[in-house]
Amino acid sequence: MNLEKIEQVLQKEPNYRRKQVKKCLFQDLINDWSEATVLPLSLREELNKSFPISIEAETFISKNKKSVKALITLQDKEKIESVLMCYNDNRNTVCVSSQVGCSLNCAFCATGKEGFTRNLSFSEIIEQVLFFARFLKKENKKITNIVFMGMGEPLLNYDNVIKAIEILNDKDCFGLGIRSFSISTSGIIDGIKKLTEENKEINLAVSLNASNNKLRSQLMPINNKYPLDELLKTIDEYINRSRRKVMFEYIMIKGINDFDENALELSKIVKNRLCFVNLIPCNPTEKNFQPSPTKRIKKFKEILEKNKIVVTQRYLFGDDISAACGQLVGQNKKSDYK
Ligand code: SAH
Ligand code: SF4
């Protein structure tokens, strides 16, 4: 799908057609322009020819039916993955990718291991959302949240991510409230600064994953460029401006970053902020990292709570379809370690 083409097709059309076309695409969630019966036949044919909206994807549904992974094939045959998570409280969250691969090579992440291929266009980001919106429509359900936690580093594809959010937020288009969007970043300071200037109430999540610079640089090489103290200062500016609670993501890796001292250190670096810590049991990827045992996570959580840090624990979604965090690799391959 290439949303820029749509403007070319509509160039000679009266203005109200634009509104109709947007409604068909983003609200009626048509699969094909032939379903857009409000439009004249000739325009439907022209749109189908110049701006096809079918999405090539394979879907995998988890055993408990709560998560669905889509392996989407893009026009240049690159593949990306997106995941739908349906929570018991009626939230339907779509986790979208922002890049094909990722250049940042975090030690625990399957996407990082694949290397970087290219940025996604804003249309390709929106396409992932439309795929699941159409999917949910069949069950009379709607997307309630969009998180940039799939493949890639969203703040290294800043313009396309923001443009996609603007279109998805636009009342004449998809119309999802701005507070329903979350961007997860490995800590790209320049990107967080730009996001602060946008003055939008987008939720920010930061993948911390370590409680000191030495450990963080080992796990996430980007920490050498954007070290912790400077990162935390930048995050504080974001909190002050947006008044949104920031989520610090912390992957719990057995014997690596899950000791009592790490919990104490982490408490110190995040305390006194409008924030919470989200503990994520590490999903095994090819490197020999294992999730911390449940008992260890419990103790770690207790230490944080004793230090007055709000803690949530991420529920493991879709690991039977390799749709869990850090397992998205853009290929139809079930991991060997499952
Ligand atoms: N690049 C961004 C967003 C994509 S990664 C970022 O790093 O934040 C999305 C989330 O998946 C991050 O919180 C990351 O820390 C987490 N993740 C990566 N590998 C993981 C693994 N093996 N187990 C659990 N979570 C993982
Ligand atoms: Fe890239 Fe995020 Fe994976 Fe790190 S965790 S390699 S930043 S996708």
pLDDT by position in tens, the chain (length 338): 888 888 888 988 999 999 999 999 999 999 999 999 999 999 999 999 999 999 999 999 998 888 999 999 999 999 999 999 998 889 999 999 999 999 999 999 988 888 999 999 999 999 999 999 999 999 999 999 999 999 999 999 999 999 999 999 999 999 999 999 999 999 999 999 999 999 999 999 999 999 999 999 999 999 999 999 999 999 999 999 999 999 999 999 999 999 999 999 999 999 999 999 999 999 887 667 999 999 999 999 999 999 999 999 987 666 676 666 666 666 543 332 22
Give pairs for 182-186: CB < 8 Å, separation 24+. Answer: 182/145, 182/146, 182/147, 182/148, 182/149, 182/247, 183/147, 183/148, 183/154, 183/155, 184/147, 184/148, 184/149, 184/154, 184/249, 185/153, 185/154, 185/155, 186/104, 186/106, 186/153, 186/220, 186/222
pTM, 2 dp? 0.94
Ligand 2, pocket-test mutation among 80, 81, 100, 109, most atoms within 8 A of CB: 109
By the 8 A CB rule, do 133 and 112 touch?
no
325 is catalytic: yes
Distance 16 CA to ligand 1 centre (A): 43
Distance 325 CA to ligand 2 centre (A): 10
Tokens 């097709």 label which residue? 9
Q: Is 81 in the pocket of ligand 1 (CB under 6 A)?
A: no
325 alpha carbon, closest ligand: 1
Ligand 2, pocket-test mutation among 207, 289, 314, most atoms within 8 A of CB: 207
275 is catalytic: no
For residue 289, the ligand 1 atom closest to its alpha carbon is 22
- What DSSP character marks residue 325? T
Distance 97 CA to ligand 1 centre (A): 11
- Residues 6 or more apart whose CB falls under 8 angstroms from that of 250 comprise 208, 209, 257, 266, 277, 278, 279, 280
For residue 326, the ligand 2 atom closest to its alpha carbon is 3
CA distances from 111 to 44, 98, 116, 191 (A): 39, 12, 9, 20
